[in-house]
Amino acid sequence: MSLVHSRVPSFLLTFLLLAALPGAQAPTAFDSSRAYTHVRDQVGFGPRPAGSAANTKTRDYIVRTLAQAGYKASLQAFEASTPVGRVKMANVIATLPGERTDRIALTSHFDTKPIDEFRFVGANDGGSSTGALLELARVLKSRPKPRFTVEFIFFDGEEAWGEWRAPNHTYGSRHYVEAAKKAGTLGSLKAMILLDMIGDRSLNLRRDTNSTPWLTDIFWATAKRLGHGPHFLDDPFPVEDDHMPFLEAGVPAVDLIDLDYPDWHTAGDTLDKVSARSLQVVGDVVLAALPDVEARLLK
């Protein structure tokens, strides 16, 4: 079944109807300037590897920004065994109640890769997705209650110390999944959407072959419907990221990531490489795709 609508998309029809009502306000839109400001503020903290003072400042910033949007965020603190010893980490979690207790998770990591050889501030890698996720939380909070509860998860410890080799990566997402298994709450998590490296000025998102196909199809179809198809390429590409622990636990998941980024894990991953326009494209696609994700889960 094609996911491309031949009629006016439901989210757009709702938007137009609400805007036409006397005194009514149109749904809050994604504001890429706000998202970009969040990226800028994170970069201002400097390198933010797990366990660092700057990482703690970033975590506090996320909690404070969520509070300003009306959320009460919680910290999921844990200690991870890493190549450099035990490191204290903490995921940040905020919840938007929906009509159902079943959940959809919108996620990003906020740490930067630990690098001693040069100053790595991770404007795109860690900064862009976290900035966009904070703006998505603000927008969704101001809209009508979603059908599914939305959980915003900001992962700590995604990056590896040195070489990316299991288990030296995805500390925060792995801890979240294991904690959910022990608590018996993983079953109510119906889908996981991961944002990572989405601010590149030359935005190219490829289809991750590890992601759940029906979820990927929804986001790619939504992008084409909105006119953003050139940024969502049909080229298949396998990615290991924070979505993998969820997939391995049986949770449908998709990774929206642009690995065609020449400044990845270099000193050049700076604020000038991040485009507000790219943040806008991804933000708009996520918001427009969510109703279709919910509809698919309700079948």
| Residue 119 burial (CB count, 10 A) | 10
The answer to the question of residue 153 being in a domain is: yes
Q: What is the pLDDT of residues 177-220, one digit of tens each?
A: 999 999 999 999 999 999 999 999 999 999 999 999 999 999 99
- Please give the pLDDT value at position 107: 98
The answer to the question of residue 159 being in a domain is: yes
Quote the domain boundaries for residue 105: 28-297
Helix (H) or strand (E) holding 254: strand 253-257
Contacts of 158 by beta carbon, 8 Å cutoff, 6+ apart? 109, 111, 126, 169, 170, 171, 172, 173, 196, 241, 242
- Please give the pLDDT value at position 26: 75
Beta-sheet pairing, 100-109 with 148-155: parallel
CA gap 264, 261 in Å, rounded: 6
Q: What is the pLDDT of residues 50-86, one digit of tens each?
A: 999 999 999 999 999 999 999 999 999 999 999 999 9
Strand partners, 78: 89
- Secondary structure (3-state) at 280: helix
The answer to the question of residue 4 being in a domain is: no
Give the number of domains in the chain.
Answer: 1
CA separation (Å) from 46 to 122, 262, 270? Answer: 8, 20, 10
Q: What is the pLDDT of residues 31-51, one digit of tens each?
A: 999 999 999 999 999 999 999
In percent, the amount of the chain with pLDDT more than 70 equals: 92
Contact 94, 137 (CB under 8 A): yes
Give the CATH number for residue 198.
Answer: 3.40.630.10
The answer to the question of residue 176 being in a domain is: yes
